[in-house]
Amino acid sequence: MSTDLAARAAKLRELLNYYSYRYNTLDDPAVSDAEYDALMHELRQLEADNPALVMPDSPTQRVGAEPLPQFEKVVHTHPMTSLADATSNQEVSDWLARARRLLPSDTELEFVAEPKIDGLAVALTYREGLLERAATRGDGVVGEDITANVRTIRNIPLRIPISGGQPAPALIEVRGEIYMPRDLFERYNAERAERGEAQLANPRNAAAGSVRQLDPRVTATRPLRLFVYGIGVVEGADLHSQWETLALLKTLGFAVNPDIRLLGSLDEVLAYAESWMSQRDTLNYDADGIVIKINDIGLQERLGIIGNAPRWAVAYKFPSREATTRLLEIAINVGRTGVITPYANLEPVVIGGATIRQASLHNFDDLARKDIRAGDMVVIERAGDVIPHVLGPVVALRTGKELPYEMPKTCPACHQELWRDSGEVALYCVNALCPAQIVRHLEYWASRDAMDIEGLGKRVASELYHAGLVRSISDLYLLRRDELIKLRKAGTKWADNLLAAIAESKERPLWRLITALGIHGVGSTLAKVLADHFGSLEALQAVDLGELQQIPGIGPTIAESICDYMARPYHQQLLDELRAAGLRTADAPASADNPQPLAGMTFVITGTLPSLSREAASALVQQYGGKVTGSVSKNTTYLVMGSDPGASKSTAAKKLGTPILDEDGIRALIDQEHDG
């Protein structure tokens, strides 16, 4: 084999490792994907022809090696400590006071603070720059050898230095946390859903489960990343502080969390912690607290370790979002499209100030896999804005009286047999006349994002259905005042308001009508695309699969779902009935044969207008070629002002000298331009 080939392979490894570092560690790509792929292809080819050229730091070796029979044990040369917890400002302050008592009284302190990642702690050993071994923390003294899995993680260098970086120490053991970024977790789960595979429950379990796979080829498919936070051992570097340590790790090519800060006082540390406490959901990783460290390594050594935690660091835990309570009953819900989902009725429990009585059980596969039973004590999580959900049972607390769950065979609302698509995890009620589905659809029809009918929520939808007044959406538009008054005694005002809101909804723009139909996969965003493209419900009804697939943003699954919807006689009848009831099914086309007197003008609308809703006013302006935006700027032609206008809009208009119109003013503008 020629030395030329060996040199070329070495060059390719260096380039590819550098490009991967730019892409995966710095998030700052140096070349296009195509260029990267071409170089990778060349290296693969070279290695296939000359197996002796395959080196352990080759990027081709990240795909995952053969499965292992088990993980080998690893004894840490320096124990991996854990952290002492604090749960209040007072406890952090107490921690600092205890540390100060062990230091000279005039010692000035600096701190390094970082979000505490809820992942999996690892130690990576590099000898002569080559990744030699990766081990889990284990109990801090003995961990497991997960080298084969860790090699597949793309922001972990296989060799130091990365091209152009700091030369490698002869020996270094780096410590950090492996995690799954939230955005990659979401994307990966969406891909699994498309393949009909079960969902991974949360990023933390996903990361832990992926790292503990015996088959590294499975780990290689999981979007894992590492952030490093410290050094266990290093030869030949003289480090004085945590901050210097992080700087060294960065120049060696490791990913260091960009949210880490050097802070000068306890007050700054507490402000930093408080700010993340309220913003934890904006992080792209799960964090369960803030790690606070005394920066100076000399002081760290004086303070030492107590038990298995250093005295120079503390974990300020975020308030818990989990609680344990009893699951009283597993109930099921029928969705608007007939999807049946399980949920839990709970003994009430308070998490983060809110009382939780119900929690999602995701789907039946999840329920079966976790073997959740009525009567179980279960762990509930309430994270940010998402619906509370059941994480799993506390099996150790079982008494034997818990009831294993059996899948429902019939719909709880219409008692018809349920249907399960072989490729999907979902269970369906396919009865189009199922009361639960119709009530859900009514509620959705009237919702903010759809037809926006004020006063028609869950309760009214159910009342109208169960009184026999509305059995199909189109019945809404045939409701009579006397029927409604009878339904709610002493409710004339209520009846009039509801009838007015329903009547107003007949004039909604086409995208709202399309959204409200509830076609599988078509939300308001896609509905706008369809309304813009077709202009009328009739044109959409007449479409074929081929044309739909030509529209940017419409994939094959959605196209099929739309055609499938339109092909059903039940839906055709509904659309005919809606037309007959007088719903507007077309948007006025903005074409040349339509007068466009407002063309080139930009309007902002604020406050309540005498006869037009804000939406109707927007539609009017747009129909005559004008544009409507949300805030006043120098590009605004007119501010249309009703009663109770927004303060910021009127102030901005005053400052910029923007002319102000009332409702009649719009009409005058249209008519005048018309005539002129």
Taking CB under 6 A as the rule, does residue 224 contact ligand JCF?
A: no
- Residues in binding contact with ligand JCF, number by CB under 6 A: 11
DSSP-derived secondary structure letter, 589: P
C-alpha span between 530 and 586 (Å, rounded): 12
Output the smallest distance, CB 622 to ligand JCF, in A.
51
* Contact assessment for residue 13 and residue 59, using Cβ atoms and an 8 Å cutoff: yes
Taking CB under 6 A as the rule, does residue 291 contact ligand JCF?
A: yes
In this complex, which beta carbon is closest to ligand JCF, that of residue 181 or of residue 338? 181
Output the smallest distance, CB 317 to ligand JCF, in A.
11
Q: Which residue of 173, 177, 286, 452 would you call a contact of ligand JCF, by CB under 6 A? A: 177
In this complex, which beta carbon is closest to ligand JCF, that of residue 252 or of residue 327? 252
List the catalytic residue out of 116, 293, 317, 649. 116
Q: Which residue of 17, 25, 58, 81 would you call a contact of ligand JCF, by CB under 6 A? A: 81
Token pair 């891909």 in the structure block, residue: 191
In this complex, which beta carbon is closest to ligand JCF, that of residue 233 or of residue 478? 233
Output the smallest distance, CB 83 to ligand JCF, in A.
5
Question: Which ranges of 319-406 would DSSP assign to H, the alpha helix?
Answer: 364-370
Taking CB under 6 A as the rule, does residue 649 contact ligand JCF?
A: no
* Calculated CA dihedral for residues 182, 183, 186, 192, nearest 10 degrees: -110
In this complex, which beta carbon is closest to ligand JCF, that of residue 13 or of residue 175? 175
Output the smallest distance, CB 579 to ligand JCF, in A.
60
Output the smallest distance, CB 81 to ligand JCF, in A.
5
Taking CB under 6 A as the rule, does residue 21 contact ligand JCF?
A: no
Output the smallest distance, CB 261 to ligand JCF, in A.
13
Taking CB under 6 A as the rule, does residue 312 contact ligand JCF?
A: no
* DSSP secondary structure letters along 185-230: HHHHHHHHHHTTPPPP--HHHHHHHHHT-S-HHHHTTS--EEEEEE
In this complex, which beta carbon is closest to ligand JCF, that of residue 81 or of residue 636? 81
In this complex, which beta carbon is closest to ligand JCF, that of residue 175 or of residue 584? 175
Segment interacting with ligand JCF (CB under 6 A) among 100-108, 110-118, 270-278, 661-669: 110-118
C-alpha span between 603 and 628 (Å, rounded): 5
Closest CA to 363 of 207, 571, 198, 238: 198
Taking CB under 6 A as the rule, does residue 313 contact ligand JCF?
A: yes
C-alpha span between 184 and 178 (Å, rounded): 14
Taking CB under 6 A as the rule, does residue 518 contact ligand JCF?
A: no
Backbone angles phi, psi at 434, to 5 degrees: -60, 125
489: annotated active-site residue = no
A 10 A CB-CB count for 676 gives 6
Output the smallest distance, CB 401 to ligand JCF, in A.
39
In this complex, which beta carbon is closest to ligand JCF, that of residue 225 or of residue 508? 225
Give the chain's count of helices (H) and strands (E). 24, 24
Q: Which residues contact 274 (CB under 8 A, 6 or more apart)?
A: none
C-alpha span between 213 and 68 (Å, rounded): 9
Output the smallest distance, CB 454 to ligand JCF, in A.
48
Taking CB under 6 A as the rule, does residue 230 contact ligand JCF?
A: yes
Output the smallest distance, CB 82 to ligand JCF, in A.
6
* Contact assessment for residue 630 and residue 597, using Cβ atoms and an 8 Å cutoff: no
Output the smallest distance, CB 118 to ligand JCF, in A.
7
DSSP-derived secondary structure letter, 470: -
Output the smallest distance, CB 99 to ligand JCF, in A.
14
In this complex, which beta carbon is closest to ligand JCF, that of residue 208 or of residue 586? 208
Closest CA to 445 of 430, 457, 433: 457
Segment interacting with ligand JCF (CB under 6 A) among 112-120, 358-366, 478-486, 615-623: 112-120
Taking CB under 6 A as the rule, does residue 450 contact ligand JCF?
A: no
Taking CB under 6 A as the rule, does residue 117 contact ligand JCF?
A: yes
Closest CA to 146 of 198, 191, 207, 88: 207
Output the smallest distance, CB 120 to ligand JCF, in A.
9
In this complex, which beta carbon is closest to ligand JCF, that of residue 297 or of residue 529? 297
C-alpha span between 328 and 347 (Å, rounded): 6
Taking CB under 6 A as the rule, does residue 254 contact ligand JCF?
A: no
Specify the pairing of strand 111-117 against strand 120-127.
Answer: unpaired
Helix axes 3-20, 33-49, angle to 10 degrees: 150
In this complex, which beta carbon is closest to ligand JCF, that of residue 86 or of residue 291? 291
Q: Which residue of 15, 16, 53, 83 would you call a contact of ligand JCF, by CB under 6 A? A: 83
DSSP-derived secondary structure letter, 452: -
Give, in degrees to the nearest 5, the angle at Cα 614 between 611 and 620: 80
DSSP-derived secondary structure letter, 506: G
Taking CB under 6 A as the rule, does residue 147 contact ligand JCF?
A: no
Q: Which residue of 13, 76, 116, 362 would you call a contact of ligand JCF, by CB under 6 A? A: 116
The helix (H) or strand (E) run that includes residue 464 is helix 458-466
Hey, is 326 helix, strand or coil? strand
Give residue number: closest CB to ligand JCF.
229
Taking CB under 6 A as the rule, does residue 109 contact ligand JCF?
A: no
Binding mask 351-390 for ligand JCF (x = CB under 6 A): ----------------------------------------
Taking CB under 6 A as the rule, does residue 203 contact ligand JCF?
A: no
Closest CA to 273 of 445, 113, 71: 113
Segment interacting with ligand JCF (CB under 6 A) among 111-119, 144-152, 506-514, 556-564: 111-119
Closest CA to 111 of 270, 295, 256, 280: 295
Distance of CA 425 to the CA centre of its chain: 21
Taking CB under 6 A as the rule, does residue 86 contact ligand JCF?
A: no
Q: Which residue of 18, 95, 126, 229 would you call a contact of ligand JCF, by CB under 6 A? A: 229
In this complex, which beta carbon is closest to ligand JCF, that of residue 81 or of residue 155? 81
In this complex, which beta carbon is closest to ligand JCF, that of residue 84 or of residue 581? 84
* Contact assessment for residue 389 and residue 417, using Cβ atoms and an 8 Å cutoff: no
Output the smallest distance, CB 86 to ligand JCF, in A.
14
Taking CB under 6 A as the rule, does residue 658 contact ligand JCF?
A: no
DSSP-derived secondary structure letter, 642: -
Taking CB under 6 A as the rule, does residue 311 contact ligand JCF?
A: no
CA atoms within 13 A on the CB side of 137: 16
Burial of 571: CB neighbours in 10 Å, binned 0-12, 13-18, 19+:
middle
In this complex, which beta carbon is closest to ligand JCF, that of residue 137 or of residue 362? 137
Distance of CA 217 to the CA centre of its chain: 26
Segment interacting with ligand JCF (CB under 6 A) among 109-117, 212-220, 318-326, 586-594: 109-117
Three-state secondary structure string covering 49-94:
HCHHHCCCCCHHHHCCCCCCCCCCEEECCCCCCCCCEECCHHHHHH
Copy the structure tokens of residue 605.
């609308």
Give the interface with ligand JCF as residue ranges (CB under 6 A).
Answer: 81, 83, 114, 116-117, 177, 229-230, 291, 310, 313
Residues tagged active-site: 116
